[in-house]
Amino acid sequence: MQTIPATNVYIHVNPDEADRILVDPAYKLERLKEAHERLYAMTEAYRIVDRQMEKHRTMLPLPYGRDQFETWYKVEKAIRKFDRLFNKVEKFDSRKFIDSDNHERRELRMLDRKKQRWTENYTYFFGGLSEEEQMYRDYFETDIEMDPEDEEYEDLIDARDIAEDGQLNPKLYDFIETSLEHEPHESFVEDIIEQKIFKYKYRQCADGLQTYDRRMARVMSRSNERASTRDPALEADLYDLYKEDEKDSSLAQLMLDHNDYKLTAQNATQSHREYMVNESLQQYRDYYESDNEEQQFFEYMDNLSNRDQIRFMEIFEDFSVAKVDMKDYAMIKKREFNPELSAFSNLLLDLVDFKDRVRPMARDIALMDVSRQYQ
């Protein structure tokens, strides 16, 4: 019998039983059921024995490259994301058969909105949104309202699934320089800072979900307490800040009056960079507060060089910023076609309109897109 694709299980019977299986469907089903039960019982017995022997087994860390480990982790997350996208594409392609009663109404709504975006307006997509995904959202608008699809939440679930799987536990590997895998050498440690950053990035896989959740609750609570009393300059609107910087640091301002020329954005965001450095170090302390192995490193952290402190910004996370799906779109109305003018004249007016009106608006929208994810 065939249980799953590419996995065959054979039942050995004598010639008389083989003849009866060929002519008696009920007997054939009975033997198949019996074989399935024995197969599952045998497989489960292997699993139970394996779990019992796991405590008595000596597991040596597997030599592995740190860059390979990070690539493996990214691939695992990418596979899960691809599976979701594939299911959405399959659902969209078969939309006509999913809800045939409402298909025509939904299809008209989707095509009408697509026409507005492409024919009547210039469209800017926020947060990596694409036209194909927006068509999916327009068609299944009611379904998404009833059962929202949040990519940020799905990424968190993926990270938990990878951690629960256990294969990407850093404790199972001896991180080495891959070019020295077959040569006598000590465990590869690029430097202490790189080691600590790597440990913090993959702490969910190493510590277990219960410990991770407990420690992260402490990190988030203390981070929010510090955020309530932080410098008010950090609450400034980055969009307004960079719009002002466009004028203050422009070539026109330099030519007009070099005394008023200044790098507004760079100077005004100095407090942001200092906050990110200090907060990232403090978050590391809060997470490993109850870890005895990190106590000596805490003393070393007080004497870190500026370069090493800046490197810790890689693990910074602002818990005061809501992690929500920011995919959306904005439309800029196109210039109306003037039937009294020739096609060439209308084309020239479209180019002038795009240069003088549409492009500046598009730049403002793009600046808003990249700035709003940090506040």
Listing DSSP states for 300-339 in one string gives: HHTT--HHHHHHGGGG---TTS------EEEEEEPPPP-T
Task: Count the neighbouring beta carbons within 10 Å of the beta carbon of residue 57.
Answer: 7
Residue 4 has what pLDDT?
Answer: 47
What confidence tens digit (pLDDT) does each residue in 193-221 have?
888 999 999 999 998 889 999 999 999 99
pLDDT greater than 80 at residue 163: yes
Q: Which residues contact 139 (CB under 8 A, 6 or more apart)?
A: 92, 95, 106, 107, 109, 110
- Domain limits, the chain: 2-54, 61-188, 223-375
Judged against a pLDDT cut of 60, whether residue 183 lies above it is answered with: no
Indicate the pLDDT class of residue 181, thresholds 50, 70 and 90. Answer: low
pLDDT of residue 178 exceeding 80, the answer is no
- Residue 169's nearest CA partner among 284, 313, 59, 57 is 59
Q: Does the pLDDT at position 23 exceed 80? A: yes
pLDDT confidence of 190, banded at 50, 70, 90? low
φ, ψ for residue 121, nearest 5 deg? -140, 160
Q: Which two tokens stand for residue 205?
A: 């896989």
Q: Is the pLDDT of residue 128 over 90?
A: no
Cα–Cα dist 290/308, whole Å: 23
Query: Per residue in 132-157, pLDDT tens?
Result: 999 999 999 988 888 888 888 889 89
Task: Considering only residues 259 and 154, tell me which one the structure prediction assigns the higher pLDDT.
Answer: 154
**pLDDT on residue 64:** 84
Q: Quick check: 295 pLDDT over 90?
A: no
CB-based burial label for 281 (10 Å; 0-12, 13-18, 19+): buried
- Provide the token pair at 109: 């709504």
Could you read off the pLDDT of 269-281 as tens digits, one per residue? 888 888 888 899 9
Q: Tell me the pTM.
A: 0.74
Task: For residue range 44-101, list pLDDT tens digits in order.
Answer: 998 888 888 877 777 778 888 888 999 999 999 999 999 999 999 999 999 888 888 8
- Nearest alpha carbon to residue 114 among 89, 142, 133: 133
Percentage with pLDDT > 90 across the chain? 28
